[in-house]
Every structure is written in C-alpha cells, then in structure tokens.
Amino acid sequence: MLEISGLKVSYGAVQAVHGIDLTLAPGESLALLGANGAGKTSSVEAIAGLLPTAGGRVVFDGADITGKPASHIVRRGLALVPQWRELFPAFTVEETLLAASSAPRGRPPLPLDHVYDLFPILGQRRLQLAGSLSGGEQQMLAIGRALVTNPKIMLLDEPSAGLAVGIVRSLVGIVQRICQAGVGILLVEQNLEIAEAVATRCVVLSTGRAVWTGRMDDAAGRAAIQEAYFG
C-alpha cells in the first residue's frame, strides 16, 4: 500500500534524511523512532507532500506520489496528523471537521458523527473554537480532521507531545481502534511505551539513516533503539 524507497530530504545544503526505506499495509502499524533531530518529522512531511523530496520514491496505492502536492496525496487517502496539531484557532470544532470533509473529493468523507463517536467530548464542544480547546482536545480534533478524509493510511507525528499521561493513554486506545478498523498507522514517537502499545514493527532512525528495522518486540530492536536514543 505505502512503499518508500531511498527517501531523501534536504534543507538547502543540510541533508536531514539520507535514503530511508519502509513499507506499510492497510491495518498495519509501524513506528518511526529516533532521538530529536533524527529526521522523523522531515520524513513524514515529505511523504505527505508538505516538504519536497531530494531523492527516492513514494508509492501509495500503486501510484507514484513522489513530489505531488499535499492536497493530491490526502485525496488519494494518505492523511497526516502534524506535530503540534496546526489547527486554525478561529475555526470551531465542527468547521474544522467540515473543512477537512471536502479534502478527499471523489471518495466519500467519513461522517462527522464517526469522529464524535470516537471522541464524545468533541461532539459536546462542536461549537467551540479550536483555539480554546485543551491540548488533549486539540489533539483529538487533529486526529478527527485526518479521519474525516477517510484515509487508508494515517501518519501521526508525535501525538503525545506535551500531553498528560492519562490523555495519552486514551489517545493510544483510539489509535488502536482506528488501526483495527483497517487504517494503516505510521506513528512518529519518542516515547517507547506508546510506540509499543500502537505499533507491531518499527524503523529506528539516527541522523537521517535507518539503523534498524524489525518487530517492536524483538530484543535486537531494543538494543538498536537504546543506541539510537542514548548513544
């Protein structure tokens, strides 16, 4: 479904991602792990069309989407939940979801009620401005905004960032349900416990290179993860 080969990302002369490979099928879950600056955000933003690629190929659902605009990519069914949510603060919850509903074009969006079933608090706050929600509610809205585009694959960039443990635990449960419903999950995460709860496989990045790929529960992976985080 999603096949990344040799993905490279550069900021001017600085190369942030040096050719990574990964694959993800519908209903599968993969964690992209690594310390600060390892290249995780650069990778998912390039996959989602928010950053230009400097090399490599992104194939999604049989089509080469390398370098395509983000609007084209989301329309095909690949949705990004960006780091720090990036909501429009002056949009209500409902306006945020309605605006995203028009993104898939040609494919039906998911009904807003689906999001309100997953996140009842968003239903209660549907007329509230996004900017006035708590951090946890904003993260729920950012996930809901991606979900109404009816994605086949969802990229989640550190959904736990800045949130309290209890909220993160309930978000993990929701992401597991989304995955069980058949959506492929590519999770960028610093927190190993969260990655283990969501993902069955992982790619460990260090300074823009994949240093280990395999099952989350593999002991060799644990050593590679330790090395990538703590040197």
Residue 16 near ligand ATP by CB under 6 A: yes
d(CA 178, CA 81): 13
| 8, 28, 31, 40: residue in contact with ligand ATP (rule CB under 6 A) | 40
Question: Which span (33-41, 101-109, 176-184, 214-222) binds ligand ATP, by CB under 6 A?
Answer: 33-41
Question: Which span (40-48, 120-128, 174-182, 210-218) binds ligand ATP, by CB under 6 A?
Answer: 40-48
Q: Which two tokens stand for residue 15?
A: 């190369």
d(CA 20, CA 3): 11
Nearest Cα neighbor of 189 from 207, 208, 202, 176 is 202
Q: How far is CA 19 from the centre of its chain?
A: 19
Amino acid, res. 24: L
| 6, 25, 37, 89: residue in contact with ligand ATP (rule CB under 6 A) | 37
Residue 39 near ligand ATP by CB under 6 A: yes
Residue the block writes with tokens 């990778």: 43
- DSSP secondary structure code for residue 132 in this structure: G
Binding mask 189-208 for ligand ATP (x = CB under 6 A): -x------------------
In the chain, what is the straight-line distance between the N-terminal and C-terminal CA atoms, in Å? 33
Question: Which span (29-37, 55-63, 124-132, 134-142) binds ligand ATP, by CB under 6 A?
Answer: 29-37
Residue 159 near ligand ATP by CB under 6 A: no
| 36, 62, 106, 230: residue in contact with ligand ATP (rule CB under 6 A) | 36
- Is residue 8 within a helix (H) or strand (E), and if so which, with residue range? strand 2-11
Residue the block writes with tokens 């998911």: 110
Question: Which span (8-16, 53-61, 142-150, 175-183) binds ligand ATP, by CB under 6 A?
Answer: 8-16
- 10 Å CB burial of residue 7 (0-12, 13-18, 19+) is buried
Question: CB-wise, 190 or 200, nearer to ligand ATP?
Answer: 190
Residue 53 near ligand ATP by CB under 6 A: no
| 4, 38, 163, 186: residue in contact with ligand ATP (rule CB under 6 A) | 38
Question: CB-wise, 180 or 226, nearer to ligand ATP?
Answer: 226
Residue 184 near ligand ATP by CB under 6 A: no
d(CA 10, CA 19): 11
Give, in degrees to the nearest 5, the angle at Cα 34 between 30 and 35: 150
Residue 92 near ligand ATP by CB under 6 A: no
CB count within 10 Å of CB 73 equals 21
Q: What residues line the site for ligand ATP (CB under 6 A)? A: 11, 14, 16, 34, 36-42, 190
